[in-house]
Chains A and B, each alone.
Chain A
Amino acid sequence: MKIARARAEQFGGIVELASPRALLHIDRELMRELGYPDSPLWDLPEGALSAPREVHVVLSRKCAAGCKGCYVDATPQGKALSFDEACGVLDELAAMGVFHVALGGGEALELDYLFAVADHARKVGITPNLTTSGLGLDEAAARRCAVFGQINVSVDGVGQAYADARGFDGFHHAERALRLLRAVKPEVGVNCVVSRSSFEHVFEVARLVKRLRLNELELLRFKPVGRGARLEEELTPEQGKALWPMARRLVWRHRIRVKLDCSFAPMVFWHQPSARAAAFFGVQGCVAGDVLAAVQPEGGLTGCSFTAQVLADARVPGAMRAAWPKGFGEFRDYVATAPEPCASCAYLKLCRGGCRAVSNAHGNFSDPDPGCPRVQEHRAASFSATGPRPEHGPRRPLPVVAT
């Protein structure tokens, strides 16, 4: 078992394994046993990580596909980080000790310098990963994708369900891209946005993952952000409660690895899984501005890709490192200041109140996630005397970062 990289944290440290690919949080004693010196961080009180573990670098808002729910509002003329800017950002992230970057967009494959950026990430010790629609991917480009750690192709449905979800018929392009990529490397999976309309079609996507021998199916929650803010596609309360049982069934029935994104945490914790197992396997709700951060195409460092509050200009040398320790209080302080029903929830420290971006889209960044079944039950009980309530509170569009 080879340690690729390690960095100290207040609790001890994080080590990255090359094989199997893993990030391990270890305590101070184990850091010492492995030969690492004591760190000044070990004298500090418990708090956020010294740097994000992974950063989503939104290389561009450029994409010709025009998906109707695109959360970055990508267009063919969208803004993009230049090659030099992207490399500069990666240099900064490497100096901070970031382990992984997720490169995306827009459609990152539309940038002719994507692979050069990925090569640069490798050069500075960061594992680059990619999400793509697969549109326009040919054999030559697929071979070059070997540079990435994990590549996921967005497939929100099979056949007509894809067209219904995205607004154009691109399923065959996506399937072809998956086959081409799978011929090059085993770490190829599918991203599937689970929305109100696509919920019942997720089983078809799982079958596709099994059939093409892909290594994971990642289910992403539909978020009313960007062009998605115009759609009524958030899960119904019944679907929210049914998500975790469905995910379990997918694992048992198809024998595939299934992951859920951080915004689904409330729907999982409502079913009261083992908190100890959840903590050990890093099952968490909103980790924006702590475990995760994002760099927008305009250069802004944000807590995650779905929020617009910019902490620093990532293109300015040293700016991210200087701003990080005391930044993102609006994310990091949620657990300490959480209102009911989060405050009395046994899973608060893990769930962290669900998805801040979704709460913000519904009106208040610091409110509990309105998609959480516990929150919905609490609100239903609170307002039962005043008549029926809508499934979610009034929603206002969440603007993407101004271009």
Chain B
Amino acid sequence: MKLFRRGRVLQATFGCNPNSSSLGVDVTFLLFGAVFASALAVVLGALLRKGPKQ
């Protein structure tokens, strides 16, 4: 039996960057740390799956 592994969100960047140099550090999000990042990945993945499929 093949085990089904759910897909994951690997990275998330929010907003748009209007600058000549790329967005390096979103201080606000980085402050929340790894636990918040893991939780957000799960939530974003779930919300993506709920949306319309291609």
Interface residues, chain A, with chain B CB atoms under 8 Å away: 1-3, 6, 11-12, 15, 20-36, 54, 56, 58, 71, 100, 102-104, 127, 129-131, 148-152, 187, 189, 191, 215-216, 218, 220-221, 247-248, 250-251, 257-265, 268, 273-274, 276-285, 287-288, 291-292, 294, 304-306
Contact = CB atoms under 8 A, between A and B. Distances in A.
Contacts of A25: 9-12
Nearest to B32: A277
B9 A150 contact: no
19 contacts: A3-B52, A3-B54, A21-B16, A22-B12, A27-B10, A34-B53, A54-B22, A71-B20, A102-B17, A127-B16, A150-B17, A248-B31, A259-B25, A259-B28, A263-B21, A268-B30, A277-B30, A278-B30, A292-B22
B53 to A, nearest CB: 4
B2 interface: no
Given A36-B54, A262-B24, 7 more contacts: A104-B20, A216-B15, A248-B31, A258-B27, A268-B30, A280-B40, A294-B20
Contacts of A216: 15
Among B17, B33, B34, B44, residue most surrounded by chain A Cβ atoms (within 10 Å): B17
Interface residues of B, number: 45
B15 to A, nearest CB: 6
A24 B41 CA distance: 10
Interface in B32-47: 32-34, 36-38, 40-41, 44-45, 47
Q: Which 9 A-B pairs have the closest CB atoms?
A: A30-B7, A29-B7, A262-B24, A129-B18, A35-B54, A25-B11, A280-B37, A35-B53, A149-B16
A111 to B, nearest CB: 16
Contacts of A260: 24-25, 27
A31 B40 CA distance: 18
Contact of B18 (A33, A102, A268): A102
Contacts of B10: 11-12, 24-27, 280
A369 B51 CA distance: 43
A283 B25 contact: yes
A1 B51 CA distance: 6
A268 B37 contact: no
A281 B11 contact: yes
A301 to B, nearest CB: 15
Given A27-B10, A36-B54, A257 B20 contact: no
Contacts of B13: 22-23, 281-282
Contacts of B30: 268, 273-274, 277-278, 281, 283
Contacts of B6: 29-30, 33
Nearest to A284: B24
Contacts of B48: 1, 3, 15, 24, 26, 30, 34
B44 to A, nearest CB: 6
B47 to A, nearest CB: 4
Contacts of A34: 7, 48-49, 53-54
B7 to A, nearest CB: 2
Given A35-B54, A248-B27, A282-B23, A274 B16 contact: no
A306 B20 CA distance: 8
B49 A131 contact: no
B7 A33 contact: yes
B24 A258 contact: no
Contacts of A6: 54
B34 A276 contact: yes
Nearest to A281: B29
Given A26-B7, A27-B7, A280-B41, A131 B18 contact: yes
Contact of A100 (B9, B16, B34, B54): B16
